[in-house]
Structure 1
């Protein structure tokens, strides 16, 4: 039964004083969980700060790359700004030291003599900056540069396409040229082989050999004055002439031709008056071989009608005579010289040259270069 009630105290008499319950274990557990969100907040804050710093560092890199590209465009007189890629992280520490670890530069479409270099790419190391990055870049000193130059066959075929000649690789140092070449209103099939080699420290040269122009299946022209060069009948044409009495007579009626064929004049006179002897003489293998060795240009200058009687256009003679070996070699040349670069006291030199499937690739190296102010 409840004790007496004291109206002044507001509680029952004899009842024990109330105390709050002790739940230490439960409280400790709640405190532990209550601290977890704070740790997460700290982690999120650190991550956010790191992302902000990385974003700022990256922005500075992009800005510096843009400024460097503009400086290179001006100093190298390029039509378009090159691609610049600054390596290393963080960038701000490099800015403070005014020294970059590595920078890669790619310059497309660099004019080099008759052709354009598809791509010039180089990686520079040990770069000392002039001016303040990233906002006021004035120039740079570069300790070492290593890169490569690509002369693309696709570009060659496009830029030298007026002659409708295409180029393709043939081994590590040779290029094949195949196509057509207009001469005196005729499209002649052209073939040539180019040997690619380095010429000095700044140029690539091509040595053109095996040049020939096929006039359909009638004759072949090899520019030059050496053995086997000139305008020669094809095997098919030689066989056709042997079977045509009027064409054999046309040849025998030119003394210069008779002398070059090595046929005795007495035998020729008898053959011109006796068709059986004419057929017998023209039907020998020796006559066919001598006929194919005959340089028609040597005799056609004084006897232009001879070409026509053999089925060839006389106008071709003048066109082929003007197409000398050096002139044709120049049309097919793939050589180029490295453009002058504002490199201060240093220099850039070409190294190894090799022919690959996509084009001619040349390694380059440089030391002690200066760009800008």
Structure 2
């Protein structure tokens, strides 16, 4: 009986040591992956990586992780000579394949959300244009225009949509005309516009877009999504 108790204590100690080593390895791997995350054609601010599942060591021995959650802040993208900043992107990566000692990180499938703030959208819109949340799933776009020698400011509620799976489009539902010839055309030249979102990790694509109080919320999905290597 005494020998059995000693054996049980020994097993518990070994189990504790294994868990400690496993968690330490996870922490090291998360830092390593975060440092190596790259977004093709874009600059990124900060990256946070969380590796799910237990035990980690058996996963890494098979060079595949069950799930990895990645949070990226400040993605500076550019497409067709125009820049657009993604404030943050959260992604859940599944069946993550590892190659060359974490140099290569590729997920079999991924889902996530990207957010573009109205401040960043305003910067991308052009001079004398301001964009904010307009409530009820709309955005409010305000622009200054010159008509018949007069500079006037007009605000419109716009519908936001995705075109071609990678371009954000703002289109005013209605433009107040007030009987001024050509006003609607001039206002739309300022308030209606499109901006392509480039620089997302290879394999990710935009699915849906929804205006919220915090910004434009874009759902993303993908297969064979490469984050490093």
What is the 5 A alignment of 1:188-267?
188-211=152-175, 225=182, 229=183
2:61 matches 1:96: yes
In the alignment of these two chains, the number of paired residues is: 222
**Distance of 2:128 and 2:41 partners within structure 1:** 31
Q: Which residue of 2 aligns with 1:354?
A: 210
Q: Distance in 1 between matches of 2:157 and 2:74?
A: 25
Which of these residues, 308, 329, 347, is aligned with residue 191 of structure 2? 329
Quote how far apart the aligned CAs of 1:155 are: 4.5
Q: Per-residue CA shift, 1:60-91, capped at 9, x if unaligned?
A: 11211122122213756434342111111110
Cα distance in 2, alignment partners of residues 128 and 94 from structure 1:
10
Measured at CA, do residues 51 and 170 of structure 1 come closer, stay the same or move farther in structure 2, by a change above 3 Å? same
Residue matched to 1:366: 222
Looking at structure 1, the residues matched to 129 and 162 of structure 2 have their Cα atoms a distance apart, in angstroms, of: 26
- Gaps of at least 5 residues in structure 2 are none
Q: Larger RCO: Structure 1 or Structure 2 (Cα < 8 Å, ≥ 6 residues apart)?
A: 2
Question: What value does the CA root-mean-square deviation take over the aligned residues?
Answer: 3.6
More helix by share: 1
**Distance in 1, Cα, partners of 2:13 & 2:50:** 26
Q: Deviation of residue 116 (structure 1)? A: 1.7
* Counterparts of 2:66 and 2:197, CA distance in 1: 26
Q: C-alpha separation between the residues in 2 aligned to 1:110 and 1:195? A: 24
Contact 1:73 1:80 (8 Å CA) reproduced: no
| Residue of structure 1 in register with 2:197 after alignment | 338
The secondary structure found in structure 2 opposite 1:88 is coil
Higher strand share: 2
Q: Deviations over 1:80-137 (max 9, x none)?
A: 3421111111100001111110111111122244442121111111122112xxxx32
Displacement of 1:46: 4.8
